[in-house]
Amino acid sequence: MRIERHFTKANTSVYDSIAFKKVDVGMKNPDGSKVFELSGVEVPEQWSQVASDVLAQKYFRKAGVAARLKKVEENSVPSWLWRKIPDEDALAKLPETERFVGEASSQQVFDRLAGAWTYWGWKGGYFDTEDDAKTFFDEMRYALAMQLAAPNSPQWFNTGLHWAYGIDGPSQGHYYVDPDTGKVTKSKSSYERPQPHACFIQSVSDDLVNEGGIMNLWEREARLFKYGSGTGSNFSDLRGGGEKLSGGGKSSGLMSFLKIGDRAAGAIKSGGTTRRAAKMCVVDIDHPDIRDFINWKVLEEQKVAALVTGSKLCRKHLADIMAACQIGESESRFSPSDNPALKKAVIAARKLMIPENYVQRIIQFAKQGYTKLDFPEYDTDWDSEAYLTVSGQNSNNSVRVTNEFLEAVAGDKAWHLLRRTDNKVSETTSARELWEEIAYAAWACADPGLQYDTTINEWHTCPESGRIRASNPCSEYMFLDDTACNLASINLLKFRGTSDVFDIKAFEHACRLWTVVLEISVAMAQFPSKEIAKLSYEFRTLGLGYANIGGLLMATGIGYDSDQGRATAGAISAIMTGVSYATSAEMAKELGAFDGYEINKSAMMRVMKNHRRAALGETAGYEELSILPVPLDVANCADKALVKAAKKAWDTAIMLGEQYGFRNAQATCIAPTGTIGLVMDCDTTGIEPDFAIVKFKKLAGGGYFKIINQQVPEALKTLGYTSKQIAAIDAYAVGHGERCPRCQSCGLTRQRF
């Protein structure tokens, strides 16, 4: 492929055009204790303290980086792209404590990511010439440094550690497809081929211990969580509670196994200790145990409320009983009938239903000479002991509903729950009752979510290869079981020109390059199971998306919840998706379409053409859709250049796709961009609006100060406000730091503030 320069210049160091600074970084727990700190970290000048902290704490390799490295010659690779290993002779001359260090500069991270992508791209034949490879390397380093875009977290964790530093270790049970033989091969190294994919969908069969079964799934999940990835599974094949087992007896049911998986995920976390495990549990609406699944987290939340309230009440009243037992010196002080204070404390405890055995135990405890009681209090912090005690806290839960079920709800009809062993009716219930339970549970604890099975599969590019049954943890990736998707998000606000005009050319260039990055990542990856390695190689699904649409709309003076805002977002989405599929077709011309393309060609082209119709704003003519999409609102898109670019992108994608097919079965999705959104200094993540007009800015030396959202002054300027008016609005929103004369402290205290 030919790679053109847009952000960089040939024969010039990328970093010469970027100013850098050194900052001290650190993170603290809510109680003030230090989690991490590092001095003199080099980051680009425009990076905020938060972005610097996140990069250093989350994504720096903190150990195992040799202080002296040497290149490993490869005849088929340009010398500037040779990988490196520790230089043992040079290391031996250093003090032992100085031989291995951690990353300390953002440039090291940018180089290892872009370098690894370029290295594997070269080996995979993605570049026409060496100059194209150099251009790609430079453009990607610039994009990372200038926060134009970012890959998903597992790329930051794993990619390039072997290429840049020679970091390696024994195989962790991963597999990859050898491109020369086309065969699934077991990895011999833990890092030579990284695990760059964030999103996995894994199958699970109704089998306890064999490969592909329930207990095997926990092992496969652990392999993913260790390297910072997330996974989702549809558990609907597991038999319901009370269904017969082949060896006699009855099944303990779906929920008993989900609770085991939840505990395992909570123990491992994602990426070791950097974040909570990312996991999705999906169950079909006709499963016999669907009610238990719907209400699982509702009951667990109630347990937390009981633990928190009960612990506080127990601590208070048991302490009162203990204190009353210290009044006086005779043995009678331990008798409620003889000690009025103890009697009062016991009655108060019993009124609040403090367990009687605890009341008596405290009195006995006091008789033995103890004067204090250690009874822990719990709180509702999501990472507290209370939440660690209950189940269901390590996954997102979703119910899979069909059009048939929704029609039953609308018509107030009966709904059958089906046994998994023989597909016969286990129970007949009201569809509306189930719907009400889902709605109540979502209100009570924000789970379960819904996945619309019929619509999802009508937009499926590869239906001949199987149905879509599940998603990754955040539901942006939906495809076949036992496949994976690696993500990247483009920071839209970086493409807003000085005159409020969206830089379409730069955005299209970024979409093309990052599609190539994600495709190369498929080629270089290793996977947690044979089946995932095989299918991910065959279908090569990608997840290019964007972040900061809320920030872009605000800065441009467009309301997020407006027809104009939705039209702008729709047009940008259409450009990104069209360019990405056009790039996929371009790669198919050079490298061939994905292996599953031919048998799915008709379906995929139908889906592509439906996308094109929506991008052109058409309201009719869609093929094989039960529910029509909301098309691009051309009339309300203020920037007509976006509309024109969307049409061009999809015209090109269809034209190239019909000629060459596509390299990837899927190309785009909108991810939440949580941690990588912070690294890019995004005001808003994914497609969300900004959550606040006023925020707290973290200071380098510790502490915070209150600031206006940085896009608010831009928005006001765009809307025609004067500098004086903007300053006044800023001051009003942030506050003047002065006490209001009508709100004195004593008055607030009387009102229980």
At 753 the pLDDT is 64
The tens digit of pLDDT for each residue in 698-746 reads 555 556 667 778 888 888 988 899 999 988 888 888 876 556 666 666 6
- pTM attached to this predicted model: 0.91
Mean pLDDT over residues 489-503, rounded? 90
C-beta separation of 573 from 489 below 8 A: no
Mean pLDDT over residues 591-603, rounded? 97
User: What is the rounded CA–CA span in Å between residue 372 and residue 649?
Assistant: 73
At 691 the pLDDT is 77
The ranges assigned to domains in the chain are 20-122+153-165, 297-388, 693-750
Per-residue three-class SS string for 391-458: CCCCCEEEEEECHHHHHHHHCCCEEEEECCCCCCEEEEEEHHHHHHHHHHHHHHHCCCEEEEHHHHHH
Mean pLDDT over residues 59-71, rounded? 95
At 437 the pLDDT is 98
At 701 the pLDDT is 52
According to CATH, the superfamily of the domain at 297-388 is: Integrase, N-terminal zinc-binding domain (1.10.10.200)
| Confidence tier at 500 by pLDDT (50, 70, 90) | confident
At 673 the pLDDT is 85
Mean pLDDT over residues 643-648, rounded? 98
User: What is the rounded CA–CA span in Å between residue 111 and residue 384?
Assistant: 38
Checking if the pLDDT of 227 tops 80, the result is no
| DSSP-assigned states of every residue in 220-271 | HHHHHHHTT-EEEEE-TTSPPTTPBPTTSSB---HHHHHHHHHHHHHHH-BT
Burial category of 278 from C-beta neighbours within 10 Å (exposed 0-12, middle 13-18, buried 19 and up): buried
At 230 the pLDDT is 87
| DSSP-assigned states of every residue in 458-519 | HT-S-GGG-------TTSS---SSSEEEEEEEEEGGGGB-TTS-B-HHHHHHHHHHHHHHHH
At 743 the pLDDT is 62
Mean pLDDT over residues 26-48, rounded? 83
Checking if the pLDDT of 372 tops 50, the result is yes
At 446 the pLDDT is 92
User: What is the rounded CA–CA span in Å between residue 378 and residue 310?
Assistant: 9
Mean pLDDT in the chain?
A: 92
The tens digit of pLDDT for each residue in 462-491 reads 999 999 999 999 999 999 999 999 999 999
Give the residue, 574 or 246, on which the prediction is more confident.
574
Which residues are tagged catalytic? 472, 474, 476
- Per-residue tokens: 516: 């190539």
Mean pLDDT over residues 104-119, rounded? 97
H or E element in which residue 623 lies: none
User: What is the rounded CA–CA span in Å between residue 225 and residue 262?
Assistant: 12
Give the residue, 580 or 265, on which the prediction is more confident.
580
At 2 the pLDDT is 96
Checking if the pLDDT of 274 tops 50, the result is no
User: What is the rounded CA–CA span in Å between residue 428 and residue 425?
Assistant: 7
Lowest-confidence range among 66-75, 179-188, 270-279, 443-452?
A: 270-279
H or E element in which residue 333 lies: none
H or E element in which residue 659 lies: helix 640-660
